[in-house]
Amino acid sequence: MIDPKKDLLYRLADDQLILGHRNSEWNGLGPILEEDIAFSSMAQDKLGHALQLYSLLHELGEAEPDTVAFTRNAGQFHCCQLVELPIGDYAFSLMRHFLFDHAELLRFEALTASSYEPLAQVARKLKGELKYHVLHANTWIRQLGTSTDEAIEKLQAALDLTLPYALALFEKTEAEPAIIAEGIFIGEDALRQQWLENISRVLSQTALELPDVTTISPVEGGRHGVHTEFLQPLLDEMAEVFRLDPTADW
Amino acid sequence: MYGSVSTHDIPAQASTGLENEDPQLLAEFEARIARGEKIEPDDYMPALYRKQLIRMIEQHAHSEIIGSLPEGTWITRAPGFRRKMAQMAKVQDEVGHAQLLYSAAETLGKSREEMLTDLITGKSKYSNVFNYPTPTWADSNVISWLIDAGAIVNQMANARGSYGPYCRALERICAEESFHLKYGHDAVVHMATGTPVQRRMMQEALNRWWPPIMTFFGPADKASQHTEILMRWKVKMASNDDCRQQFLDMYVPKILEIGLTIPDPNLRKNEETGKWEYTEPDWEELRRVINGDGPCNQERLAVRRAAEENGAWVRRALQAKRQAPKAVRPLA
């Protein structure tokens, strides 16, 4: 049985790394320059978060952060499938960012009370940054979600598409009972409930309709190493230079 | 990141239009510049001054966003956390520079939307150097170090110019570029003193980039009525050749110091004149590439055009909200 701390850390770190990587792909492509810049800032934050979380794993005996991030294959990743999907159009990336970061903010707020003190410390730092990510997402969802029919249609389509993946953010692993019992984290069910309340509140201020989540099957598997066809090519690209000379210091 | 595109696309014999300016206002304007005062957006300025500045700042802004593309393609492939995060931050800075510069140009009366339209239709230019490919990580490092170094030489000169908003933008930009220089230098040194694979990659990248670096500052200035006026008005602050000489003075020793070779057998400093001598760059190629026939012109503009087209619905939505601020449902 895997150490519950490591189980949780891998899920958290892999989510941050992969979404950070995806967000960075918006360089040069944003609908306005300010969004190029914003997505880059969030990407940098997420990479920084991933690095801190992989560093905790390293303290628990796992390999160096660079090795862990740049040399595993898709089957060894524990990110949810939501983060690995290609950036799509801006509506898709914005909606993914909205759904993901609302969950992240709540997750790291809860983790500030973790019994695993090193993680609680990291969470106290991260939640301050995540607050701005959520503020950014809310601002845009409210703006565009109350604007033209065209924008509302695109965002609604993005919401319908991303929601089944977003619900799998809360996929549990075998370590879940131990994680809760040891006071490391409040658990996925508690988080999901708060998340639904928060996203519903923002969406209710727009023309967007949140589909009935009780009728949707979450697209799970990511937490157990089952991924979309998009993850391995992303990892190959990420490691392209790193693998040219594994003995090198870059 | 910006070098001289060229101040020569206005024919030397074209009218300066100065005969249409109020002689007294023009004399006061020139006196202010001679005293070292800055010209601000609401101040009187001759039409030629406004036109030249718009063109120059706009080209600079375009160079920043197009310039973010060749390095941007290496963000997703940067080796290791440290490089990946730094590469993102560096490229993000360049986009931020474009934002600053478009707003400086907007103070002269041309909107960002108009400028971006002129960019994607090919009507306005950007720094030629970004029409060359970056086939390896080492190429991206060479840009970060040496192209940014060249840009600093050029921009430091222009920061002493006469138009207030442009000078202030340039001061902020140069402060950030100096970090890029350190970042680029560090990355190049790691490669140039690294494993045989890394050293070979870096030397090959420098070989590819040396000719574009030599043309980065533009061809030697032709004496013309325009050049003279633009220098007097502190629109153009240093000659292309002066910038090139300054760059060679500062960076040739640094390149050699880390064990790289420069692919120009004729490059040497003439101790008598104090000037660098080098193989004459291929100005015909520069002209060809500026006019659209470089290895990556089509690709760079296609990326920009796709971004404009794909993001148009977002800008339409923002515009609609600005004109008719009504929420579908109450916000609270």
CA–CA separation, A132 vs A129, rounded Å? 6
Cβ <8 Å between B194 and A249: yes
**Does residue B331 surpass a pLDDT of 70?**
no
Asked if residue B131 belongs to a domain, the reply is: yes
**Does residue A74 surpass a pLDDT of 60?**
yes
CA–CA separation, B63 vs B98, rounded Å? 8
- Closest-CA residue of chain A to B61: A33
Nearest to A24 among B76, B191, B198 (CB): B76
Q: Quote the minimal CA–CA distance from A182 to chain B in Å.
A: 31
Residue A157 region by backbone torsions, left for phi larger than 0, else alpha for psi between -120 and 50, else beta: alpha
pTM value is 0.94
Asked if residue B182 belongs to a domain, the reply is: yes
- pLDDT tens sequence across B273-289: 999 999 999 999 998 99
- Mean pLDDT calculated for residue range B133-162: 96
Total beta-carbon pairs less than 8 A apart between chain A and chain B: 155
Cβ <8 Å between A238 and B76: yes
CB A36 within 8 A of CB A27: yes
Domain residues of chain A, as ranges?
A: 4-238
- Closest-CA residue of chain B to A71: B80
CB B192 within 8 A of CB B260: yes
Asked if residue B75 belongs to a domain, the reply is: yes
Cβ <8 Å between A31 and B312: yes
Asked if residue B6 belongs to a domain, the reply is: no
Cβ <8 Å between A241 and B89: no
- Mean pLDDT calculated for residue range B123-130: 91
B92 contacts in chain A (CB < 8 Å): 27, 36-37, 40-41, 44
- For tokens 């600079």, the residue is B60
Nearest to B77 among A50, A148, A240 (CB): A240
Q: What's the Cα-to-Cα distance from A121 to each of A52, A56, B187, B320, rounded to whole Å?
A: 11, 11, 32, 44
- pLDDT tens sequence across B16-69: 888 899 999 999 999 999 999 999 999 999 999 999 999 999 999 999 999 999
What would you measure as the largest C-alpha separation in chain B, in angstroms? 78
Cβ <8 Å between B81 and A142: no
Asked if residue B7 belongs to a domain, the reply is: no
User: What is the predicted ipTM?
Assistant: 0.95
Chain A CB within 8 Å of residue B103 CB: no
Q: What's the Cα-to-Cα distance from B55 to each of A42, A55, A250, B5, rounded to whole Å?
A: 33, 49, 40, 10
Q: Which amino acid is at A143?
A: Q
Q: Which amino acid is at B31?
A: A
**Does residue B132 surpass a pLDDT of 50?**
yes
**In B3-46, which ranges are continuous DSSP H helix?**
23-34
CA–CA separation, A120 vs A213, rounded Å? 31
- pLDDT tens sequence across A37-57: 999 999 999 999 999 999 999
- pLDDT tens sequence across B192-207: 999 999 999 999 999 9
Q: Quote the minimal CA–CA distance from A109 to chain B in Å.
A: 25
pLDDT on residue A31: 97
What proportion of chain B, given as a percentage, has pLDDT over 70? 93
- pLDDT tens sequence across A215-250: 999 999 999 999 999 999 999 999 999 999 878 999
- pLDDT tens sequence across A182-204: 999 999 999 999 999 999 999 99
Q: What's the Cα-to-Cα distance from A164 to each of A20, A84, A220, B3, B133, rounded to whole Å?
A: 21, 14, 9, 49, 40
Contacts of B82 (CB under 8 A, 6+ apart): none
Q: How confident is the model at residue A12 (pLDDT cuts 50, 70, 90)?
A: very high
- pLDDT tens sequence across B256-272: 999 999 999 999 999 99
Where in the sequence is the domain holding B87, given as residue range(s)?
Answer: 21-323
CB B290 within 8 A of CB B5: yes
Indicate the number of domains in chain B. 1
- Mean pLDDT calculated for residue range B168-181: 95
Mean pLDDT in chain B?
92
CA–CA separation, A218 vs B154, rounded Å? 55
Cβ <8 Å between B72 and A27: yes
A28 contacts in chain B (CB < 8 Å): 65, 68-69, 72, 95, 303-304, 307
**Does residue B7 surpass a pLDDT of 50?**
no
Cβ <8 Å between A29 and B320: no
- Cα B136 off chain centre by: 22
- Mean pLDDT calculated for residue range A88-115: 98
Contacts of B81 (CB under 8 A, 6+ apart): A47, A50, A51, A65, A66, A69
Instruction: State the best of A14, A19, A25, A29 to mutate against chain B, taking most chain B CBs within 10 Å.
Output: A29
**Does residue B223 surpass a pLDDT of 90?**
no
Asked if residue B155 belongs to a domain, the reply is: yes
CB atoms inside a 10 Å sphere around CB B222:
11
- Mean pLDDT calculated for residue range B74-82: 97
- What is the CATH classification number for the domain harbouring B55? 1.20.1260.10
pLDDT on residue B95: 96
Query: Which top CATH class is A4-238?
Result: mainly alpha
**Does residue B324 surpass a pLDDT of 60?**
yes
